[in-house]
Each structure stands twice: as C-alpha cells, then as structure tokens.
C-alpha cells in the first residue's frame, strides 16, 4: 500500500525504515527486560545484537555462497548494495549460533536470558507483519466479514493485522509472566507458544502463503511444531520446579 515514503526530495523504502526502527526498539526492550528480570542488561543486549548482526551477515554470506557465480567477479557486491539478497535459513542458523556462543562465552543463564529476549523477538516479528501490511506483497483471502479491508481491489482478510494482534497477545502473556513466573524460561516458552499457536490459526487466512507441494501451509506446520515443543518444555520446567520445592520442603522438615 505504501512501498515508499516521500520526504521532500528523498524517497525512503517503508519496509527498510520499519526494520531499522523495529530493530532499535526491540534491542532497547531486551535491555530493559533484562534489567527488570535482574540480569546483566549489557550482556543480554550483547546476545541480541550478536544474534542480529550474526544473522544478517549469515543470511548475506549464505546467499552469496548460493549465487557465487554472480559474485565471484564482483566481490564488492557481497557488501553493497544491501537492500536485498538474503537467505532466511542461513541467517537463522548463524544468528542463533552466534547468540548462543556469545551467551556461553559470558556464562549467561540460558532460560533467564531467553525470558529477556522474548519481547524483542516477538516485537521484531510484529514489525515484519506491519512492514508486510504497509509495503509488502502479502494479502489475505477474499471475505465479506465487516472488518475486511480493500486490498488490490478486493475485500480481503487483513491477515497481517491478525498477525500483529497475535504478537500483542504473546507480548501480553510475556508481560503477565514476567513478574509471576515460577521458573526461569517460562515467560519465553509460554509467549512463544501463544505466538506460534496464533500464527497457526491466522495463516489460514493468508492468500499468498508459503505452500508445500501438497498445498499445506508450511508456516502452520512449523508453528504447530514450535507450539507443542514450547508447551512440552514449559510443562517439564514446571514439574521440575514443583519437585525442587517439594524436596526442599521435605529437607526443611
């Protein structure tokens, strides 16, 4: 709808602008969350920055490796222009690995660190949906519901708005659990499982979904797997916490 923003003589890509603002806000939120959870904010912020930068570099290098023939006579092309040409999976793997090793090196508690990273991660995903809504190629399925929006001259489900609402619900869960969690890692696992469950639900209303050969929504399959794993781990963490409490109670008596 608004692929570019015109500011006088300058034409700025809406999505790029949102990604930069989103990254800045997400990182700030992670730092604040770490402080609220009693962690070292600088170290947790370091994990987030390392994962983000590692992810971007990894995504670019993976893309360059896949299309090496196009880059081998133009090595400068690997570092410029950077407005496109990234491989999602390469970025994810290298970003997560970079954040993990940074955390290990600084001996951060993994579950507590994930609790602090959760709002930044979810907010980042909300920004991706917002950028897709304002400037991306995504659109919802045809519908006659009263809240439908006119997109590409048809009445459609505002699927990216649904995704944003799912993200806000997950952030609400995180905010509720932030101070009431019974065990470290619970806020991360529960907010991510709510987000995954929501995306599983709303991706059905996306008309340009990423499909498997059989026509299944790949994002729904990934979301279901993530949701079940997170809920299972949250249940296990809860059991361990209860067991520990019982053991210490018995020792006291």
Chain residues binding other proteins by CB under 8 A are 3-4, 6, 11, 13, 63-64, 66-67, 70-71, 74, 77, 81, 83-85, 137, 139, 142, 152-154, 197, 200-201, 203-204, 207-209, 211, 213-217, 220-221, 224, 227-228, 231-232, 235, 239, 242-243
- To other proteins, the closest distance from the beta carbon of 176 in angstroms equals 20
Residue with smaller CB distance to other proteins, 36 or 208 = 208
Q: Which residues, other chains included, contact 162 with Cβ-Cβ below 8 Å and sequence gap of 6+?
A: 140, 198, 202, 205
Residue with smaller CB distance to other proteins, 76 or 107 = 76
**Rounded distance between C-alpha atoms, residue 161 and residue 198, angstroms:** 12
Residue with smaller CB distance to other proteins, 41 or 85 = 85
The DSSP annotation for 93-134 comes to: HHHHHHHHHHHHHTT--HHHHHHHHHHHHHHHHHHHHHHHHH
Burial of 139 (0-12, 13-18, 19+ CB in 10 A): buried
Nearest CA-CA partner of 99 in 80, 121, 79: 121
**Rounded distance between C-alpha atoms, residue 122 and residue 188, angstroms:** 10
Residue with smaller CB distance to other proteins, 31 or 203 = 203
- To other proteins, the closest distance from the beta carbon of 53 in angstroms equals 21
- To other proteins, the closest distance from the beta carbon of 59 in angstroms equals 13
Burial of 149 (0-12, 13-18, 19+ CB in 10 A): middle
**Which pair of structure tokens corresponds to residue 124?**
């980042």
Nearest CA-CA partner of 47 in 23, 31, 65, 71: 31
Residue with smaller CB distance to other proteins, 60 or 181 = 60
Residue with smaller CB distance to other proteins, 36 or 240 = 240
Q: Which residues, other chains included, contact 77 with Cβ-Cβ below 8 Å and sequence gap of 6+?
A: 70, 71
Residue 154, beta-bridge partner list = 151
**Rounded distance between C-alpha atoms, residue 124 and residue 142, angstroms:** 27
Residue with smaller CB distance to other proteins, 50 or 223 = 223
- To other proteins, the closest distance from the beta carbon of 248 in angstroms equals 16
- To other proteins, the closest distance from the beta carbon of 79 in angstroms equals 11
**Is there a contact between 91 and 59 (Cβ–Cβ < 8 Å)?**
yes
- To other proteins, the closest distance from the beta carbon of 28 in angstroms equals 27
- To other proteins, the closest distance from the beta carbon of 6 in angstroms equals 8
């Amino acid at each position: 709808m608004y692929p570019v923003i015109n500011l006088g003589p300058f034409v700025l890509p809406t999505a790029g602008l949102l990604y930069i603002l989103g990254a800045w806000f997400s990182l700030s939120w992670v730092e604040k969350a770490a402080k609220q959870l009693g962690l070292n904010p600088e170290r947790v912020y370091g994990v987030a920055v390392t994962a983000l930068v590692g992810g971007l570099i990894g995504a670019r290098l993976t893309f360059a490796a896949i299309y090496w023939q196009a880059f081998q006579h133009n090595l400068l092309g690997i570092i410029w222009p950077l407005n496109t040409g990234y491989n999602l999976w390469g970025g994810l793997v290298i970003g997560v690995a970079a954040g993990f090793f940074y955390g290990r090196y600084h001996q951060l508690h993994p579950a507590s660190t994930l609790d602090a990273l959760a709002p930044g991660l979810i907010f980042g995903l909300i920004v991706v949906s917002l950028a897709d809504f304002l400037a991306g190629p995504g659109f919802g399925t045809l519908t006659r519901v009263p809240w439908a929006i006119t997109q590409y001259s048809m009445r459609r489900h505002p699927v990216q708005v649904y995704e944003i609402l799912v993200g806000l619900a997950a952030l609400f869960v995180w905010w509720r659990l932030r101070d009431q969690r019974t065990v470290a890692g619970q806020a991360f696992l529960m907010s991510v499982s709510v987000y995954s469950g929501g995306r599983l639900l709303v991706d059905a209303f996306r008309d340009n979904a990423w499909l498997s050969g059989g026509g299944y929504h790949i994002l729904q399959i990934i979301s279901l797997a993530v949701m079940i794993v997170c809920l299972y781990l949250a249940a296990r963490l809860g059991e361990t916490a209860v067991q520990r409490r019982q053991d210490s109670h018995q020792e006291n008596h």
